[in-house]
Chains A and B, each alone.
Chain A
Amino acid sequence: MSTKNQKTNFSWLLKMALRDGKSSARKLALFMASIVLGIAAVVSIQSFSHNLKKNIALQSKALMGADYIIDSDKPLTARVEGIIDSLGGADGREISFASMAAFPGNQGTKLVQVRGIEGGFPFYGELETQPSTAASQFLSENGALVDATVMLQLGLEVGDPVKIGDISIPIVGALKSVPGSSSVFSSVAPPVLIPYSLIEQTGLIQTGSRIDYKYYFVAEPTADMDRLDRDLDPILDANEADLDTHTSTSERLGRRYENFGKFLNLVAFIALLLGCVGIASAIHIYIKEKLKTIAILKCLGISKKQSFMIFLIQIAGIGLLGGIIGTTIGVLLQQLFPLILQDFIPIEIEISLEPRVIFIGILLGVLMSVLFALYPLIGTLYVSPLQTLRVEESNPVRSRKAGLLVLSGIFLFIFLFSFWLLEDWLYALSFVGGVIVTFALLAGVANLFMKAIRKYFPKSWGFVPRQSLLNLFRPQNQTLILVITIGVGTFLISTLYFTKDVLLAQASLEEQANSPNMILLDVQNDQQQKVVNTIQSQEIPLLENIPIVTMRVESIKGRPADEIREDTTSRVNGWVLRHEFRTTYRDSLIASEVLQEGEWIGKASMNDTVPISISDNFAEDAKVGPGDAVSFNVQGVILNTVVKSVRTVDWSRMQLNFSIVFPTGVLEDAPQFRVLTTKVPNEEASANLQQKLVDQFPNVTIIDLRQVLSIIEDLLTKISWLINFMAFFSILTGIIVLIGAVRTSKYQRIRESVLLRTIGARSEQILKILALEYLYLGILAALSGIILSLISAQLLAWLVFETTFIPSWKPFLILFPGIILLVLIVGLGNSLGVIKSPPLVVLRKELG
């Protein structure tokens, strides 16, 4: 006998799926919302980061203004000059340094980055000026281009003079943008461009000044930048110069946003995982409600495969629709990112549609839905048509093999998805492992809880509390499913919260009561006393007077730096050998330091090998520890030292920290300059002091930390706004998961509530029983989730973000009661109908 209804084809199955889906729209809303939110987060984040990468790569030349640059913080050696000549000579050059600029017209002063330009810089991108002709005029007219914001702040106009060091230059235009600088990084020291030829006349090039020499090159379009980098960089390195190509710059820039990107990817991952949990719980209820329909259809002659297909088509269709809506929202949402981040990223971001991300977004919608629906859907295969005659209470038997297969599919999906996001199979694997462990632990907690209640059941309790406890472990209980879904939801949201804290804490600045808010750099030794007098004459305290001695590493453990540099097997980080260290000497540790290893020695004499203290990062990069010898070249004099201690330094504190600290009694007579710190009470005092200092000591650089702090805080606010906004997405999905999970329980509890009602239970008693049950479940699930998230946040901080993690109380104070309350509201909200209407009406409506 043929079992095929020959003419029943796909179109009929589609028709049935549509008809049924249409009138189930309300029930499918949760399902749809889970997909939409998850996909929107993934698409917006992925699409934005693709666009960011693409734009950085596209604009890499404009970012730098040239194809490659040779730069050095020392005048060039003959060898480097020879290399530049062999490259056909530089196409442009620049000398730059930070200095105070005075604006005599209105008595203003400002820390600026003075950039003396020669040649056709920028060769790519452009100097945007107001008026636009000023970009080319400033060179020919010996004028200055001053940062547009500074001009606005100080009320400057074209034609006003700017005094830099010993000379006064007329401003020919306002500088709106210059290749390679973002507004945040240039707001600390905004750029002032002047002709190269005027630099010498400023008189600011002297000992201790931090001067950068840059040589700009334009290459043939076919030139191989990587090869140039490989060939030249080692030679330049040995001569204290550096090569930067536009490609390496764009890579470096990409890395600067790495942690931020990692976090956003984590948000995407969590939003999608929550979406999956949402889908799983929504589908679970949905299919459960459809079992009766399936039994009727089977009675009317539909085959197993046909009934399976009707709901598979329906779910795939909703997945497709959810994928399309989610992707559309995601694409729209990413338009917001550049608006929020424009001060943070030094390039113009043009948002374009990323076909690959759009395709993946839609595909994800379908895949997620089908994969998470498969297990409940397999149940439809086992529905007996006999259910039309008699309700079978027992759950349909499912094939273990099919269940395992679906489960493997789900984990494979999570693995592939995390691999796509994180581009690292080890991370992806540990994420999947983390998810499995979380589920297993939550299931363990739920089972243990049920066993414990059963064993220690409080028989003496009254009817209501006893009944609510009974609900937790008797047949048809919802403990396992609710603890897992609510627990996973809480776990993911609170992990996100903790991680957000980790990330924001990394960059946060606490204003300490006694910390300085003004730093004076480059104070020459002979100016020291006069500068101190000027400060104190304004009745402003001098907080610190820190001596700075510059030096370079000469040898490590007896091996000369040159030899280590040439040794390709050496693991010593190159910067240690190249860097000009600014060191200090003092007899005690400061607040931002903790002794990690060895012994702190505060005093020594020139006669012995000098005992020094190094920072942990120096120890790591130079591969040295206590007992190792390091010698330094202090402006021509070789100084032999031995490492006595290693300090952990908190570099994020707004204070002067040092990699290398000498004891007192050694460097006092070495050539040095000073850094003074002070605390000014207000804006006016700050302006007065700066004015006086710039007048008398033009070489001294003044950093007004209050201004820097406000800029960084502003930036942090913007970033945290974005992070919060994206986190909110996940939280919203979490709430949907919660509603879905609690709705599952409605199905279980409605019969019992109606029965209790029928035999005379009062509304208050039913409500109390339900409320207590949800309260127990809420507490157990939320607590387990938060505790697990503490562990995962610790792991994330340690392995992914490479930072320390100090948990905040927020998840405990807000999330914990919040989730319990939500479980209660949703749970009781679902049951109100049972209490308000007569029992028979409820039974007929809900189950009939």
Chain B
Amino acid sequence: MRSKVRLLALIVILAVVLYPLVWMVGTSFKSPEEIASNIGLFPTEFTPGNFAEGWQKFDVAFGRFFLNSAMVAVLTVLGNTLSCLLAAYALGRLRFRLRGVWFAVMIGTLLLPGHVLIIPQYILFRTLGWVGGEWPYLPLLVPHFLATEAFFVFLMVQFMRGIPRELDEAAVIDGASPYGVFRHVVLPLSRPALVTTAIFSFIWTWNDFFRQLVYLSDLKDYTAPVALTLFIDSTSESSVGPMFAMSLLSLVPVFLFFVAFQRLLVEGINTSGLKG
């Protein structure tokens, strides 16, 4: 009896929590008339028209925005995993002068809000000619190749500390240099931490809005989130369907990641307190 009440409570809460997402899917497939008249979750007739209309809504097709988003996300993943891995190996496994100081500085930057740095960084990148330049994504990407996402450095340091030191020592006795230890011991064993970093980097970058809003000013360079805000300006009733359709599409990659890596994502926030 008790457990039935518990189950019922969970189902009710889950229904409320999932309602906005289901409503979004349903509305995406409603015709304009149905959006205005049918208050039910699902349309009486599923119409894909909103997707076609949303795709072509602006002077640049939405596919371009998705491609831009994908490119930024993939390159960010590459930069984050690579540069944070190198930093984490130094801070977590090597003994060198001032290591303790650098580690403390890294921890200090963990809680540094990104909004504090946005203005001087903008000025810096503008001075370098990167803002609105030939390839306007440099300001979005370069910081990720310089391990500025301290969260991932910290995550990997924690992980690497769990790798038995004896392995390093054995490799050193066998004549391995610090580079050899990195290449043959730490790198292969850090795969799980790398995968976690890659997945969270992708999702965060895909959802990121603030930086992309600041740095992208040309319509053809827009990423999906920035392009979606264009819908808000055109508040006419008829654009609700296309707006929902494109919003829905923009959530698909993250949703696929969720389906594929659910276990890993949940464990990832367990071990490190990573935010979703």
A binds B: no
Residues of chain A touching chain B, judged by Cβ–Cβ distance below 8 Å, are none
Residues of chain B touching chain A, judged by Cβ–Cβ distance below 8 Å, are none
